[in-house]
Chain A
């Protein structure tokens, strides 16, 4: 059993380079997303937003990063220390590992696995643990309440996201993310499955704990929710994790409904633009919806959130799954997979 030989080392080295090539731009994107969020909300509220550090305040996220780095890490005395430190790390790394299967363009993907969509779904359902662990380990009532809310909320909305994914898969016949995009060559799924797209976007807001579903960090009632006790880099990891999860959900929406890297119309001018640019444009549009919603809507009450998830989205998405399946079988449109 030779574990370490030259080929393995080379393979490992190339893999590390690939991973860095994904994580580096991702972290920069996250940094600028925080900037973009403040700018968009400022524009909505007729303010200027960050405009002091660098041109148009462009260096603001880096100033914030330096500030968070240089702060003292405070670990509460009565907390469960190991879990307290592990929680933000889990939250952050889970939001990164999901990127290994995202096809940014036709052949630009780290690992094109057969069950890509299930992998994404699994990772997004795991991300709840960072929050629960943080809430429990902090040994503080606000953090704990935030974590409990988040657990119930994410489990509820995962159900409807699951059904949305099933609907799309019925039309594709494959769990592979690249195949899902290629199946939309003629028509993006957002057109025939528009109600599911709406359900997906709203559930994505709930799944990433964003406004108007940011009850886990309800600052008017729970101080800061599950990360009340966190400071410095541990806090920054939650922050990065949340924003990277936003970008991830937007990419998932792009892949499922907006045709991934495909150009809007199949003509030569549009096809000349590389696929990843289309991909990032679409992700940008969905991200803008995230920010726009945050600036516009007030926070939901908890019972409203639960009712929307279980009494509106669940029946609606179930019905749509049955309708789609019926339609596909009736008109004999069920996709034939190639093995």
Chain B
């Protein structure tokens, strides 16, 4: 067990370092994916196989794919990133600092959180356990999180939705319902 833990965690840490240090942004995304996959491995070792699979499906299978998609399409040069990075240095450090504070705060209260979630562990498969807790104790936060995501999704759609004139679109029902008499007209030419 220990061997695998050290394997996964060291690869995670190393690939996280590689994410911010590699010169090519596409390579960074690949390292990010490697970090995700290895943290899923750590989840499995911790007995949280449901979380591990969800991490793989959501982050690696969907989020990172779209991320990669965008980064590949943009084709950013290394120099541009260097310039950009300096501009956002302050906000980046700020976010990192806040995250660090949050981590310290939650780790200092770890025993409280641990007791709360540890009540019935191992009596049920942890998928059922998560479902039970999520839809009873944390029902409201769960719904609110869903609403926030919905708003974000609607926002993204509204920002990108535009009607362009003169674009031909296929309308299958129109095509299927088209009949002979709509498109063919027999005209008699000349006199008998």
Contact A136/B65 with A3-B3, A118-B50 known, Cβ cut-off 8 Å: no
A interface residues, tally (CB under 8 Å): 31
* Among listed B81-89, B123-131, B140-148, B183-191, interface-contacting one: B123-131
| B contact residues around A122 at 8 Å (CB) | 53, 56-57, 60-61
Nearest residue in B to A86 (C-beta to C-beta)? B30
B68 in complex: contacting residue of A119, A126, A151, CB < 8 Å:
A151
| A contact residues around B124 at 8 Å (CB) | 339
B133 CB-CB contact with A under 8 Å: no
Contact A113/B3 with A121-B57, A128-B65 known, Cβ cut-off 8 Å: no
Question: Contact at A125–B62, with CB atoms within 8 Å?
Answer: yes
Question: Contact at A126–B61, with CB atoms within 8 Å?
Answer: yes
A113 in complex: contacting residue of B49, B54, B65, CB < 8 Å:
B49
Q: Nearest Cβ in chain B — how far from A142, in angstroms?
A: 15
Question: Contact at B56–A125, with CB atoms within 8 Å?
Answer: yes
Determine the main DSSP class of A at the interface with B: helix
A-contact 0/1 string along B50-88, CB 8 Å cutoff? 100110110011100110110011000000000000000
Contact A155/B65 with A121-B57, A129-B33 known, Cβ cut-off 8 Å: yes
A303 in complex: contacting residue of B61, B65, B126, B170, CB < 8 Å:
B170
With A and B bound together, what is the CA distance between A221 and B68 in angstroms?
24
Question: Contact at B54–A158, with CB atoms within 8 Å?
Answer: no
A175 CB-CB contact with B under 8 Å: yes
A337 CB-CB contact with B under 8 Å: yes
| B contact residues around A126 at 8 Å (CB) | 56, 60-61
Residues of chain B having any CB pair with chain A under 8 Å: 2-3, 26, 30, 33, 49-50, 53-54, 56-57, 60-62, 65-66, 68-69, 72-73, 123-128, 169-170
Beyond the given pairs A118-B57, A122-B61, A174-B125, 8 more chain A to chain B contacts, judged by CB atoms under 8 angstroms and listed by A's residue number, are A115-B127, A122-B57, A125-B56, A125-B61, A132-B65, A148-B72, A151-B69, A304-B170
